[in-house]
Structure 1
């Protein structure tokens, strides 16, 4: 049974389209608590790249970003220079936007400073939800917010530390993706899996 067949038989969040890449992302990653610094950096880059675009557009370029950004090795990205920026601007596998490319490098440097201060980016970023996922109980997509007091606080602090593309809306999308909040609808097949240790 392929993913498209499964899609028609199981209930998912309404934003998950009938695309195999989207289905896998929804079922296996979105809303699952993440504490791995490399993945946390990866999604910081990807969420920033998404600004003004559809998330599926970014998912389809995810491998392109991995190839272009040394597997999201934050130490290597932090050392990128103008030659690397020009290379990335000619890389069809990613979003070729100078501001977004530069922000990825800037954020890598800020990310490392956070790691040095807190021991890990994980220890820093999860403090905004008291190191435990917020389990929501949404019935419809209309109930799901685009910002919260937690994302506001995160955005304010990230910006203070020099992070770019760190507005509250981007921060909340990041929180959703990294499982800091469980915003699967209660009717979704992934809701209980993501909430099982907390409800």
Structure 2
């Protein structure tokens, strides 16, 4: 079966960028701290918007935020914030921009302790959780794990990381495999999950 004929999760739609994201990224377990931090920040910017909006702006976000180098972002001051608020390539929302900067500082604190990846993955016991949903209507907006993660992140000073946002994050980075059982990526991501280790 070719990729053109493959059955996908309905949310991937017909946009080529969205399909590529579904086929190559969504649900693939990630352990790289910088990649996880980038996804966390982008999910925060997505709040109230569609993910395809963020996906289309992702390269502009990377350019604007020093490729999500937390050390660089943690040093951003008022002048950089003013510059970001004028950047038409990204989502110009002061609260989200300021949250991204404070989240970089919180990220660095966790990295100097248990490690950001280890901290995140501890909420699924270090192993991707394999779900078996058949319909989009079955997918929850949040889970006990995403609620626990959101609460823990808040306690460490993170913002724009509520339970629904964190569930989307966990799905995106493969902490949970929420591809529908009829989607060709469900089995592929399950195999990646079985081989995953921190």
Shorter-normalised TM range = over 0.9
RMSD, matched Cα: 1.2
CA offset at residue 171 of structure 1? 0.6
Q: What's 2:189 paired with? A: 194
CA offset at residue 6 of structure 1? 4.1
Q: What's 2:152 paired with? A: 157
TM-score by length of 1: 0.94
In structure 2, what is the Cα distance between the partners aligned to 1:58 and 1:106? 20
Q: What's 1:33 paired with? A: 29
| Deviations 1:49-80 (CA, angstroms, capped at 9, x unpaired) | 00000100000000000000001111101111
| Deviations 1:134-193 (CA, angstroms, capped at 9, x unpaired) | 000010011111111101100111001110001100010000001000000011011111
Q: What's 2:53 paired with? A: 57
Distance 1:6 1:198, change over 3 A: closer
| Deviations 1:100-152 (CA, angstroms, capped at 9, x unpaired) | 0000001000000001111x210110000000010000100111111111011
Structure 1 residue 24 corresponds to structure 2 residue 51: no
In structure 1, what is the Cα distance between the partners aligned to 2:122 and 2:89? 34
Aligned length: 193
Query: Aligned to 2:9, which of 13, 37, 49?
Result: 13
Q: Structure 2: any 5+ residue segments left out of the alignment?
A: none
Q: Structure 1: any 5+ residue segments left out of the alignment?
A: none
| Contact 1:103–1:164 (Cα < 8 Å) also in 2 | yes
Q: What's 2:79 paired with? A: 83
| Contact 1:135–1:198 (Cα < 8 Å) also in 2 | no
In structure 1, what is the Cα distance between the partners aligned to 2:155 and 2:67? 27
SS in structure 1 opposite 2:76? coil
SS in structure 1 opposite 2:184? coil
SS in structure 2 opposite 1:53? coil
- Runs of 4+ aligned structure 1 residues displaced above 6 Å come to none
